[in-house]
């Protein structure tokens, strides 16, 4: 598992670094001035978003401590499909967890008897809905648009969970 | 902005003090929280600066017409296709997709296409989907992918229709 994680992550990170290095070299070769200009722009936008990021990191670090794996396991393993699905979507919306942590955890939960419906609600909201990243998102797209996108995304995630539930025979229509 | 700075200041300083004390006096919850913080910080430090350099180069070198042609109002369905392909190769998470999407938008990309990019960067990133399939099964990943993509595109068109004021 760790090997797979390192492999996939490594390949994509190398791609990112390679691409950046290549683009920088090309840019430098064509115009030093423009290269310097883009580096300045990069630094500026990085500094601009840094406060929001710090805020997010602080909240997330505390949130990850409060919402433990055992807690997720306890609430997602409930008897009622609808309830565990909804709880899964709420946990997914308020936590930030890299997929490299979330999917192994999900596999573990499935083994423990947690429904695929709840897992789908959890993993999709984890990826698509971000209450914690909302301040960062709003920095770029404004609060109104960001809230609308997250709300719509939440509904989409519930729909996905429903379909997964039907496909896995957990939800009988 | 100043209010926000004040909030960050009032949060960061006590937080830092709390972490320092936790380390000094071996307070386990504080140490776990600190570990979470630095774990996340490290993984973002590996991705974020490089991404911003790429975005900076994009902003300086790529001209507006090119973006408008491929991601703008005239791009049609191909714009969405490009957005999905681009998102498949996005490294990192939402925190990279937001600045990239913003850079595209500023250069004249259609809002619904930008939103499609952000949504599919969250849901269809290749490394993530491989990981999903290997832990929850191909069936799960395939169904999830198959439903989420059209829903993301549809909702992006819908939201874009409301918020995009730069109609062609």
How many Cα atoms are found within 13 Å in the side-chain-facing hemisphere of B38?
7
Cα–Cα nearest to A61, from B92, B28, B40, B18: B40
pLDDT at A117 over 90: yes
Tens of pLDDT along B7-24?
778 888 889 999 999 988
Indicate yes or no: CB of B56 within 8 angstroms of CB of A65. Answer: no
Taking the C-alpha atoms of residue B135 and residue B129, their distance in angstroms, rounded to an integer, is 10
Taking the C-alpha atoms of residue A147 and residue A131, their distance in angstroms, rounded to an integer, is 9
Among B7, B122, B135, select the one facing A128 at the smallest CB separation.
B122
Name the residue ranges covered by the structural domains of chain B: 1-48, 62-168
Taking the C-alpha atoms of residue A12 and residue B126, their distance in angstroms, rounded to an integer, is 10
Chain A residues in contact with B34 by the CB 8 A cut-off are: 61
Chain A residues in contact with B15 by the CB 8 A cut-off are: 58
DSSP structure class, residue B63: -
Taking the C-alpha atoms of residue A121 and residue A101, their distance in angstroms, rounded to an integer, is 16
- Mean pLDDT value across residues A76-88: 88
A53 touches chain B (CB under 8 A): yes
Q: Closest-CA residue in chain B for A149?
A: B159
ipTM over 0.85: yes
Indicate yes or no: CB of B151 within 8 angstroms of CB of A37. Answer: no
Chain-centroid distance of CA B138 in Å reads: 25
Indicate yes or no: CB of A163 within 8 angstroms of CB of B147. Answer: yes
CA angle B106, B112, B115 (to 5 degrees): 80
Chain B residues in contact with A111 by the CB 8 A cut-off are: none
Tens of pLDDT along B44-53?
888 889 999 9
Tens of pLDDT along B129-139?
888 998 999 99
pLDDT at A140 over 60: yes
Name the residue ranges covered by the structural domains of chain A: 50-167
The answer to which of A56-65, A88-97, B87-96 has the lowest mean pLDDT is: B87-96
Taking the C-alpha atoms of residue A101 and residue A114, their distance in angstroms, rounded to an integer, is 17
Indicate yes or no: CB of A39 within 8 angstroms of CB of B56. Answer: yes
Taking the C-alpha atoms of residue A55 and residue B150, their distance in angstroms, rounded to an integer, is 33
pLDDT at A129 over 80: yes
pLDDT band at B117 (very low <50, low <70, confident <90, very high): very high
């Amino acid at each position: 598992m760790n090997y797979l994680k390192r492999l996939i992550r490594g390949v994509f990170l190398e791609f990112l670094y390679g691409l950046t290095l290549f683009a920088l070299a090309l840019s430098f070769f064509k115009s030093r001035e423009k290269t310097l200009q883009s580096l300045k722009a990069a630094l500026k936008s990085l500094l601009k978003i840094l406060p929001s990021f710090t805020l997010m990191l602080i909240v997330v670090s505390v949130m990850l401590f409060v919402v433990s794996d055992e807690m997720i396991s306890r609430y997602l393993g409930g008897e009622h499909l609808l309830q565990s699905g909804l709880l899964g979507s709420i946990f997914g919306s308020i936590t930030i967890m890299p997929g490299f942590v979330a999917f192994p955890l999900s596999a573990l939960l499935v083994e423990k008897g947690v429904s695929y419906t709840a897992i789908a609600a959890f993993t999709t909201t984890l990826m698509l809905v971000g209450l914690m990243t909302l301040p960062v998102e709003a920095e770029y797209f404004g609060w109104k648009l960001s809230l609308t996108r997250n709300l719509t995304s939440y509904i989409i995630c519930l729909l996905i969970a429903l379909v997964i539930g039907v496909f896995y025979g957990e939800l009988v229509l | 902005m100043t209010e926000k700075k004040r909030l960050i200041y009032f949060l960061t300083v006590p937080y830092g003090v709390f972490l320092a004390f936790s380390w000094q006096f071996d307070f386990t919850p504080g140490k776990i929280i600190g570990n979470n913080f630095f774990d996340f910080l490290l993984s973002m430090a590996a991705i974020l600066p490089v991404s911003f350099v790429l975005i900076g180069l994009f902003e300086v070198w790529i001209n507006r017409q090119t973006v408008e042609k491929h991601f703008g109002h005239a791009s049609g369905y191909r714009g969405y296709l490009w957005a999905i392909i681009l998102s498949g190769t996005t490294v990192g998470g939402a925190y990279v997709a937001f600045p990239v999407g913003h850079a595209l938008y500023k250069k004249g990309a259609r809002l619904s296409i930008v939103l499609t990019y952000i949504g599919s960067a969250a849901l269809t990133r290749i490394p993530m989907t491989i990981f999903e399939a290997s832990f929850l099964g191909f069936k799960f990943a395939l169904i999830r992918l198959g439903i989420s993509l059209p829903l993301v595109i549809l909702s992006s068109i819908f939201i874009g229709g409301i918020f995009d004021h730069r109609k062609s």
